[in-house]
Structure 1
Amino acid sequence: MDPIIAATHADPYPYYAQLRAEGGLVFHQGLNLWVASSATAVAAVLAHPDCHVRPVGEPVPRTIVEGLAGEVFGRLMRMNEGERQRCPRSAIEPGLALIDPVEIQALVSARLITPDAEGLSKAMFYGPVCVVATLLGFSPAQTRVVNQLTADFVACLSPLSTPLQLDRTHKAAEQLRGYFFELLDDPDVRSPLLNGIKQRFASSDNEMLIANLIGLCSQTYEATAGLIGNALVALIRDPLLLRDVDSFLAEVQRLDPSVQNTRRFVVAPCVIDGINLNPGDTLLVLLASANRDPQLNDDPDTFLLDRPNRRSFTFGAGRHQCPGQTLALSIASATLRQILAIKPDFGCLTWHYRPSLNGRIPMFVEAKNT
């Protein structure tokens, strides 16, 4: 086990506890990076101005730097600091918190979900992006295309992607760019979300805006799928946990988050949790471990539906905290309600975790009869 393999391990949480016991911020020789596992260390790293989201010498991964996916990646607010992060965030974030959960429920309910493994997979991966695309003003036919293109585009965000996947991601970026250009130029679009974003976007750089609208879809794709999937895993293991959907999801995202870790790169000498760090150092930030730190939450390994003062790093913290937390939870809540309404036979399902260096996304399959 190591802190990266842990993300897709059947049960990484005892290992995380072991890491916390060894020190909140320690150097891992095998991975050649610092590992932040305690709540104190994770909070300090996420808040520190000299801990950036990309290494100075590689703002765009070498594997995609020559293609259009690299151009989009380089403009994403989540991959930038300073004004290139603040400007698109200030345009996009306010509108996401104002979306009516009733509207989200209606959009989710309009999609057919079947109770088998394939149907649950589609609900996890297809539904959330289709909701966001619809809220942005795309037609039903366009949302289906945008969803598939987003599925191809997210490959550029993973170091595990094959050359063939990366080739497809450049093509997907080009097509998504075209769809969003047309959307922004269409005077007949009646989207309060998109119109608000356009009004708040304090720049004439349409490419920056389009990249971050693509980013909104790509962040929705995997993180929300993992949230829904991990909620289903919790229900399969103990159906009695569910009494209130929203409280249930709030505890699932803390106890078994879809984003297990993130990275930061030191750009200037600094001290974090008593450790001297130097420019060029890499930090692996174990969000999932911090969520279960007893210093952050009492009785952290127990699923408590009515947990008082629940605290979590699942959606990040500080300047790079996920702006779509409320939206993601609303989509997951609506989707889970819809799945429960069709009464799937959870006993017929098994799962494995999608290959990833940081995500925890269960992939459901029909259990074989023995």
Structure 2
Amino acid sequence: MDPIIAATHADPYPYYARLRAEGGLVFHQGLKLWVASSARSVAAVLAHPDCHVRPAAEPVPKAIADGMAGKVFGQLMRMNEGERQRCPRSAIQPGLALIDENEINALVSARLITPDADGLYNAMFRGPVCVVAALLGFSPAQGRAISELMADFIACLAPLSDQVQLKASHAAAEQLRGYFVELLDDPDNRSALFAGIRTRFAGEAETLIANLIGLFSQTYEATAGLIGNAIVALIQNPSLLRDSTRVDHLIAEIQRFDPPVQNTRRFVAALCEIEGVKLNSGDVILVLLASANRDPQLNDSPDAFILDRPHRRSFTFGAGRHQCPGQMLALGIASATLSEILVHQPALDRLAWKYRPSLNGRIPVFSDSP
């Protein structure tokens, strides 16, 4: 086991506990990077101004730098610092926080969900993207097309993708850009969310388009992981399915207990000291968000699944200047989708799952057991 393999291991949490016991911020000789595993060290790294989201020498991964996916990547607020991060964030975040929960519920309930493995896949991956598309003013047909393109586009964000997948990602980025160009030019768009974003945004249109594509990419994977890991929890602990169980409480606890994003990275931009450790420019820090969530210094009884947990704290959506702006939207879509899935009474005991190959994500894909 190492901190990267742990993301898709059946149960990485005992291993994370051992890492925390070794020290909050330690160097991993095998991976040749620093590992932050405690709540204290994770908070310190995420807050430090010299810990950046991309290495200075490679702002865009070399594998995609020459294509459209690379152009999109290079403009994403989540992959930039300073004004390139603040401008799109200040335009997009306020509107996401104001979305009506009833509107999300209505959009989710309008979708056809079947209780088999294929139905769960569509509900987890395609459904959330379609909901966000509708909120921005796309038609249902456009939303379905965008959700299909997003499945190809996210390959540009995954270091494990091969050349065929990366080529498809560039093509998907071109098509996604086309949809957003049309959205910007549509005089009949009645989306309050989109209108607010346009009013607040003061940058170039291409930057706005890239960050709206980025909003969909984060929706695609993170929300799917929230839904999927909640289903895994229900399979492993059927008692959670009591009639009195509030699905929103279940989703809130699962994002802490078994999060879809297990780790992220930070790249040291200048000589600095964090938690008594001297770091050099160019050092890489693997930030174990999932480990910090289980730190007893952050949450009491951290290895217990407590639906009505008081004072729940979590790093799943990040912290500080790069905290995910769509946290409430993701939780709302995940809760509404899981509620709709459970209405159809899926045979959970007949489902098997494995985790999608990933260096940082924990996203189950289900199959129907023979």
Cα distance in 2 between the residues matched to 1:118 and 1:206: 37
Cα distance in 2 between the residues matched to 1:108 and 1:101: 11
Cα distance in 2 between the residues matched to 1:89 and 1:252: 26
Matches within 5 A, 1:191-340: 191-203=191-203, 205-242=204-241, 243-340=245-342
Cα distance in 2 between the residues matched to 1:307 and 1:139: 39
Cα distance in 1 between the residues matched to 2:329 and 2:87: 20
Per the alignment, residue 47 of structure 2 pairs with 47
Cα distance in 2 between the residues matched to 1:171 and 1:109: 31
Amino acid at match of 1:208: T
Cα distance in 1 between the residues matched to 2:296 and 2:64: 40
Cα distance in 2 between the residues matched to 1:323 and 1:133: 17
Q: Alpha-carbon deviation of 1:273?
A: 1.0
Aligned length: 367
SS in 2 for 1:91: helix
User: Does 2:357 align with 1:358?
Assistant: no
Amino acid at match of 2:13: Y
Q: Alpha-carbon deviation of 1:160?
A: 0.3
RMSD: 0.6
Per the alignment, residue 107 of structure 1 pairs with 107
Gaps of 5+ in 2: none
User: Does 2:38 align with 1:38?
Assistant: yes
Runs of 4+ in 1 over 4 A off after TM superposition: none
Q: Alpha-carbon deviation of 1:239?
A: 2.1
Matches within 5 A, 1:9-88: 9-88=9-88
> Which range moves more in the overlay, 240-249 or 86-95?
240-249
Per the alignment, residue 116 of structure 1 pairs with 116
Cα distance in 2 between the residues matched to 1:344 and 1:305: 21
Amino acid at match of 2:200: R
The C-alpha deviation readout for 1:70-121, integer Å capped at 9, x for no partner, is 0000000000000000000000000001101111111011111001011011
Cα distance in 2 between the residues matched to 1:335 and 1:306: 20
Cα distance in 2 between the residues matched to 1:338 and 1:241: 16
How does the TM-score come out when normalised to structure 2? 0.99
Amino acid at match of 2:114: T
Q: Alpha-carbon deviation of 1:367?
A: 1.2
SS in 2 for 1:43: helix
Cα distance in 1 between the residues matched to 2:306 and 2:341: 22
Amino acid at match of 2:284: T
Per the alignment, residue 179 of structure 1 pairs with 179
SS in 2 for 1:364: strand
Q: Alpha-carbon deviation of 1:290?
A: 0.1
The C-alpha deviation readout for 1:265-293, integer Å capped at 9, x for no partner, is 00011111110000000000000000000
SS in 2 for 1:306: coil
How does the TM-score come out when normalised to structure 1? 0.99
Q: Percent identity?
A: 75
Q: Alpha-carbon deviation of 1:305?
A: 1.0
